[in-house]
Amino acid sequence: MHVGLIGSTDPDTFADNIGDALVRMGHSVTSLGSARPKFRAGLLLRSAELARQACPGWEDRAHKILAYRARDRGCQAVITTEGRLAPAAVAEIRKNHIPVSLWFPDCVSNLGRQRMLAAPYTGLFFKDRILVQRLKDMLDLPVWHLPEACNPGWHRPIGDAGVDKHVVVAGNSYLTRLLLLERLHEAGVPLVLFGNPIPRWAPKAIPEALHTGRSIFREEKSRVFRGAAAVLNNLHPAEMSGVNARLFEAAGAGAAVLCERRPELDELFDPKREVVAFTTFDELLGKIQDLLSSSSRTRSVGDAATKRAHADHSYEVRLKILLEKMF
């Protein structure tokens, strides 16, 4: 099948992993582009966002270009990872008898104006069970629960487990994460940070030297995760019942993942063998100290996590479900 993808295909992004998995499943994939303007300068990005909100008709016209590409390039199905895709563009894709689904990777606070619920999608896939149930109960939408995943081709054990006696943190610098890192640093936990730079408005108790100043992708990400004593995965407060992509990526890489508890966590991984769960700061601190003092514990958890992630939580497993529901 020929599948069109809407979303950023920068290395190791959600759409990049989906495209790679579809190809390995035997499908052909065409990147149709992104519904989100790409500007490096913050001012330009904010200006584009204001224009989008003020002129929804302009956004409809711009996004329809993606629909025309799907038609002209002979796509038999379209998957978008971007909830901001205009309903008019979704309707244009469906007008050409092409099924189209949204696999939304973000927490509920990023639903924005919720315009995806007004679009004629063939299927809507969210990672939060509470959201899915409410949408089913009240609106009778074609909505399903589908967590994120790992890519066994990139997210796999590389190198020795637990050889670096520090805790790795990778990802966005939202305030609750920064405040937690501040507490951990003050408690003497050795931290190494990757991802977006620490914002200027952030607490100043986190030394800039802790941040590497870069992001990590694919095999390098896996090498860093595998080598760490632990990978910290505290979750955004708006992750209500589900978890994020970092959990699956780090588990696939064979890391000992310190993951903040959510209702769904125990359904995905064995909290005694495959992941190290925490709820409170004191519990987290104690489990960090255990992992820092025992590379064998790190290795044991990481090996079990890889086995589960690759068997049950790969993109191929998820996409098989998505494509079945889509048709």
Flag whether 103 is in a domain: yes
Flag whether 302 is in a domain: yes
Average pLDDT rounded to a whole number, residues 141-146? 98
Q: Residue 84 pLDDT more than 90? A: yes
State whether 17 and 121 are in the same domain: yes
Q: Residue 104 pLDDT more than 60? A: yes
Domain that holds residue 100: 2-146
Total domains, the chain: 2
Residue that terminates a domain, selected from 146, 179, 195: 146
Range scoring the smallest mean pLDDT among 40-54, 106-120, 149-163: 40-54
Flag whether 319 is in a domain: no
Residue that terminates a domain, selected from 114, 146, 178: 146
Are 101 and 122 within 8 A, CB to CB?
yes
CA distances from 1 to 26, 27, 74, 283, 320 (A): 8, 5, 10, 48, 13
Flag whether 327 is in a domain: no
From CA 52, how far away is CA 36, in angstroms rounded?
Answer: 10
State whether 197 and 284 are in the same domain: yes
State whether 66 and 194 are in the same domain: no
Q: How many residues does the chain have?
A: 327
Q: Find the DSSP H helices in 55-86.
A: 56-72
Are 108 and 238 within 8 A, CB to CB?
yes
Are 230 and 255 within 8 A, CB to CB?
yes
pLDDT for the residue 41: 47
Average pLDDT rounded to a whole number, residues 271-282? 97
Which CATH number does the domain housing residue 183 bear?
A: 3.40.50.2000
Per-residue pLDDT reduced to its tens digit, 203-261: 777 888 999 999 999 999 999 999 999 999 999 999 999 999 999 999 999 999 999 99
Average pLDDT rounded to a whole number, residues 118-142? 97
pTM: 0.93
State whether 209 and 272 are in the same domain: yes
Flag whether 107 is in a domain: yes
Flag whether 159 is in a domain: no
Flag whether 153 is in a domain: no
pLDDT band at 44 (very low <50, low <70, confident <90, very high): low
Flag whether 152 is in a domain: no
CA distances from 132 to 221, 240, 324 (A): 31, 12, 18
- Give the DSSP per-residue string, 203-234: -TTS-GGGB-SS---HHHHHHHHHHEEEEEEP
pLDDT for the residue 225: 98
State whether 117 and 194 are in the same domain: no
pLDDT for the residue 82: 97
